[in-house]
Amino acid sequence: MNYKRSSALFSEAKQYIPGGVNSPVRAFKAVGGDPIFVKEARGAYLYDEDGNEYIDYIASWGPLILGHAHEPVINAVIEKAKKGTSFGMPTEIETQLAKLAVSMVPNIDKIRFVNSGTEACMSAVRLARGYTGKDKIIKFAGCYHGHSDSFLIQAGSGAVTFGSPNSPGVTQGTAKDTLLANYNDLKSVKELTNGNKNEIAAIIIEPVAGNMGCIIPTDEFIQGLRDLCTSEGILLIFDEVMTGFRLGKGGAQEALGIGADIVCFGKVIGGGLPVGAFAAREEIMNHLAPDGPVYQAGTLSGNPLAMSAGLAMLTELNNNPGIFESLAKKTEYLHQGISEVLVRKSVVHQINRFGSMISVHFADGPVIDFTSSARGNNDTFKKYFHGMLSQGVYLPPSAFESYFLNDAISYADLDKTIEAVKNVF
């Protein structure tokens, strides 16, 4: 494959944009080489500026669960755009999307729209602090909740990929209110709650993690967290930015059978446009301005184009819940196919999968938390990533990310992908 034009565009971008990208993982730093520049995408496929075609296993990091340029979504956006792009005033479509989201997801009565997953998590924590009157939060090593200050403490995703899980620029004052526990380790959480009695507002977690690869909570761990939060008067925040409207209509709450107190959304809820949201029972949400004292706002929040994309997307998922099952079956097929090849070639590996999220770790032993995820062999990962890319398969360019399958991927695409794995090893 020839990547000449992508490389030239990257050189130019680096002169004007830090690192040539507007979000770090895009730069391919963890795997080496220049990133590919996308020209367009349709269904399961990406087309780059050099005319190469790729089966896409990222789907814009999750939002495009129905594939790229999905017609009902695109048409909804075009029709809306003709009527104006932003008003900073209430519109009916905000209520339509809110009503639909509340009907699909358990344990939420009201939802507030923002512009990104970062904003959703940041605002959810402020609301939890305002509601409980307590300052501290617990997060888990390797979980990523966006780039707001309180979360850049042992964060996953790009933060750890680039070796700055604790970013310079976050003050000591902020950092001291974020306590750190280990995923799938209830004891580490109990030590913190015991040592900080009546000081913890919330525990925030990716209920199925996707930012240290895909990591699945054990039943005892997630149920234990729920029980602990209830008994200690701590709010349990599920960051469902990745899992919401992906693991099922009701996201991870439904898939795991565990209720959260506040739920954060992003990605799928915006249909590929910039949307985030946070939601809870009425009693909690009523603490938000203008009804309550906890302030939160946004010039472009509830933007009509973004709402129209989200509404088209959620409407289709709500009407065809079989999509979630079909995606999970495809993901299982991919898992088995890759696994067979790697076993046959004696490549040390672990594959984690939940619904349409999956990750391949070149690690010895189960991958259940950040430490075990970080043990993966990065040289093998790089070889795998570039080997797949050169055969037209686009995988996340870091071992600390999950793949996201989309509904446009066919079994023929999956077979081609498995064949490509065979060729790499």
Among 117, 251, 271, 304, binds ligand PMP (CB under 6 A): 117
206 near ligand PMP, rule: CB under 6 A: yes
Site string for ligand PMP, 131-150 (x = CB under 6 A): -------------xxx----
Residue 121 binds ligand PMP (CB under 6 A): yes
Residues in the chain: 425
Smallest gap from Cβ 340 to ligand PMP, in A, equals 30
State which residue, 119 or 177, has the beta carbon closest to ligand PMP: 119
Q: Which stretch binds ligand PMP (CB under 6 A): 31-39, 110-118, 159-167, 229-237?
A: 110-118
Residues 6 or more apart whose Cβ sits within 8 Å of residue 183:
140, 141, 142, 143, 205, 209, 212, 215, 217, 221, 368, 369, 370
266 binds ligand PMP (CB under 6 A): yes
User: How far is it, in rounded angstroms, from Cα 394 to Cα 353?
Assistant: 18
Residues with Cβ within 8 Å of residue 194, at least 6 apart in sequence: none
Please give the single-letter amino acid code of residue 370.
F
Q: Please tell me the distance from the alpha carbon of residue 45 to that of residue 229, in angstroms, as a whole number.
A: 43
Q: Which stretch binds ligand PMP (CB under 6 A): 70-78, 183-191, 204-212, 367-375?
A: 204-212
To ligand PMP, the closest distance from the beta carbon of 168 in angstroms equals 20
| Binding segment toward ligand PMP, per CB under 6 A, in 28-36, 84-92, 236-244, 306-314 | 236-244
Is 376 one of the binding residues for ligand PMP (CB under 6 A)? no
48 is catalytic: no
254: contact with ligand PMP by CB under 6 A: no
Q: How many Å apart are CA 281 and CA 204, to the nearest integer?
A: 17
CA distance 411 to 257: 30
Q: Three-state DSSP class for 235?
A: strand
SS (H, E, C) 163-203: CCCCCCCCCHHHHCCEEEECCCCHHHHHHHHHHCCCCEEEE
Longest CA–CA separation in the chain, Å: 61
Q: How far apart are CA 414 and CA 56, in angstroms?
A: 11
Is 253 an interacting residue with respect to ligand PMP (CB under 6 A)?
A: no
Q: In angstroms, what is the minimal distance from the CB of 276 to ligand PMP?
A: 6
Q: Strand 393-394 and strand 53-56: pairing?
A: parallel
CB 278 within 8 A of CB 130: no
Does 118 bind ligand PMP (CB under 6 A)? Our answer is: yes
Catalytic residue list contains 267: yes
Q: How far is the CB of 125 from ligand PMP (least distance, A)?
A: 12
271 binds ligand PMP per the rule CB under 6 A: no
The answer to whether 252 and 357 are in contact (CB under 8 A) is: no
Q: Which of 48, 94, 239, 413 binds ligand PMP (CB under 6 A)?
A: 239
In angstroms and rounded to an integer, the radius of gyration of the C-alpha atoms of the chain is 21
Q: Does 205 bind ligand PMP (CB under 6 A)?
A: no
Q: Is 61 in the site for ligand PMP (CB under 6 A)?
A: yes
Q: Which one of 150, 182, 193, 211 is in contact with ligand PMP (CB under 6 A)? A: 211
Q: Is 303 in the site for ligand PMP (CB under 6 A)?
A: no
Q: For residue 67, what are its two tokens?
A: 């594939």
- Which is the catalytic residue, given 48, 177, 185, 239? 239
Q: Which stretch binds ligand PMP (CB under 6 A): 12-20, 114-122, 349-357, 360-368?
A: 114-122
Token pair recorded at residue 311: 């509404």
Q: Does 356 bind ligand PMP (CB under 6 A)?
A: no
Tell me if 156 sits within 8 A of 370, measured CB to CB. Answer: yes
Interface with ligand PMP includes 246 (CB under 6 A)? no
Q: Which of 241, 260, 311, 420 binds ligand PMP (CB under 6 A)?
A: 241
Whether 180 and 154 have beta carbons less than 8 Å apart is answered as yes
Would you count residue 302 as binding ligand PMP (CB under 6 A)?
no
Active-site position among 267, 384, 407, 413: 267
What angle in degrees, to the nearest 10, is found between the helix axes of 219-232 and 186-195?
A: 10
Q: Least Å distance between CB 255 and ligand PMP? A: 15
List of residues contacting ligand PMP (CB under 6 A): 61, 116-118, 121, 144-146, 157, 206, 210-211, 239, 241-242, 266, 276
